[in-house]
Amino acid sequence: MDFKSKIFLIYGPTASGKSIFAVKLAKKINGEIINADSMQVYKELKILSARPIRKDYKNVKHHLYGFKNVKKNFSTGDWLKLANQKILDIKKRKKIPILVGGTGLYFKALTDGLVNIPNIPFKYREKIRLMHKKIGPKKFYSKLLKIDPLVLNHINPSDTQRVIRAFEIKSFTRKSIYQWFKSTKSDYKKKNFYKIYIDYPRIDLIDRINLRVEQMIKNGAIVEVKNFLKLKVPKTKTAYKAIGVNEIKDFIDKKARISEVIEKISIKTRQYAKRQVTWARGNMSEWKKIKSKNINKFLKKI
């Protein structure tokens, strides 16, 4: 296969070894790596976001990592614009773009186009969020199905963020989120992409997550959060959602022991990994699935 015309996409749950795989692949095919993880864009969250290490940066050129201030929000649209510029630049230099990360929405925007939904007023959105809180997830999901049957089998009832978003869009625009998706186009053709999903056994992934969290604490995650808190970042900002910020804050405020913090971060990270797997199941069925144990075999064949 001629890889010169391809854009490689690598997705997988957190701690599945995406970054290491991307570096190995880049070395093999003369590629450069573009970040597709919504938390790794923030410069002040190096440890908690598990950004690639300095050695990887030296071996292979990396783009869109640790460049955004935590006080600033960074949307999917912002990322797509920058990612497109980087893809163009890398291709001009006769290299191969490799996008790697765990933010499914970024990949969807790249491959399917960004949905141009009108801005929904904050007060309107807040009203819907309060309704969700008042009547509970089950009743809210039933209400959503009544006004937008197209979401059935597309949105998991437990995915609160997407359920609320779908309700907002349908009730405000009178058009299903999936009708908006259908009218959206990508800048690329399907044949431009080589899509890889890293499939990691859940039991092994849990062990890797637990180990990673312990390592983060040893590597200075507590100091990182202390410095983060000094910046007085508003809680409404995206960076505040990073797993570990609030848990470590409890330790700093002497509300929790370090063992409790490690356990809470591990649980939240496992839940996040599960959501990533669910996303892949619903949105990435046509991606090439590579079992983690077969990664080296795949690299040898390329």
Nearest to 241 by CA among 272, 212, 270: 272
User: What pLDDT, on the 0 to 100 scale, is given for residue 54?
Assistant: 82
How do residues 1-13 score in pLDDT, each as one tens digit?
Answer: 677 889 999 999 9
User: What pLDDT, on the 0 to 100 scale, is given for residue 1?
Assistant: 63
Residues of the chain with CATH 3.40.50.300: 3-115+187-200+277-301
How do residues 65-115 score in pLDDT, each as one tens digit?
Answer: 999 999 998 999 999 999 999 999 999 999 999 999 999 999 999 998 987
User: What pLDDT, on the 0 to 100 scale, is given for residue 73?
Assistant: 87
Q: How far apart are CA 149 and CA 1, in angstroms?
A: 42
What is residue 290's three-state secondary structure? strand
Q: Is the pTM of this model over 0.85?
A: no
Mean pLDDT of 174-195: 88
Q: Domain spanning 122-182: which CATH class is it, in words?
A: mainly alpha
E strand segments, 111-252? 193-199
Residues of the chain with CATH 1.10.287.890: 204-274
CB 60 within 8 A of CB 37: no
How do residues 193-208 score in pLDDT, each as one tens digit?
Answer: 999 999 999 999 999 9
Burial of 297 (0-12, 13-18, 19+ CB in 10 A): exposed
Q: How far apart are CA 22 and CA 32, in angstroms?
A: 9
Residues of the chain with CATH 1.10.20.140: 122-182
Name the band, by pLDDT with cuts 50, 70 and 90, for residue 287: very high
User: What pLDDT, on the 0 to 100 scale, is given for residue 51?
Assistant: 94
User: What pLDDT, on the 0 to 100 scale, is given for residue 34?
Assistant: 98
Q: How far apart are CA 185 and CA 112, in angstroms?
A: 6
Chain mean pLDDT for the chain? 94
Biggest distance spanned by C-alpha atoms of the chain: 57
Burial of 155 (0-12, 13-18, 19+ CB in 10 A): buried
Name the band, by pLDDT with cuts 50, 70 and 90, for residue 301: confident
Whether residue 182 has pLDDT greater than 70: yes
Name the band, by pLDDT with cuts 50, 70 and 90, for residue 184: confident
Burial of 110 (0-12, 13-18, 19+ CB in 10 A): buried
Pick the more confident residue, 154 or 275.
275
CB 21 within 8 A of CB 10: yes
User: What pLDDT, on the 0 to 100 scale, is given for residue 170?
Assistant: 96
CB 225 within 8 A of CB 249: yes
- Tokens for 142? 């039933």
CB 151 within 8 A of CB 144: yes
User: What pLDDT, on the 0 to 100 scale, is given for residue 57?
Assistant: 81
User: CATH fold of 3-115+187-200+277-301, please?
Assistant: Rossmann fold (3.40.50)
Which residues lie below 8 Å from residue 272, measured CB to CB, with a gap of 6+? 14, 243
Range 204-274 has CATH code 1.10.287.890 = yes
E strand segments, the chain? 7-11, 31-35, 62-63, 96-101, 193-199, 288-291
Among all chains, which residue has been given the structure tokens 């790596």? Answer: 33
Whether residue 59 has pLDDT greater than 80: yes
CA-based end-to-end distance of the chain:
9
Nearest to 71 by CA among 202, 299, 221, 233: 233
How do residues 225-284 score in pLDDT, each as one tens digit?
Answer: 999 999 999 998 999 999 999 999 999 999 999 999 999 999 999 999 999 999 999 899
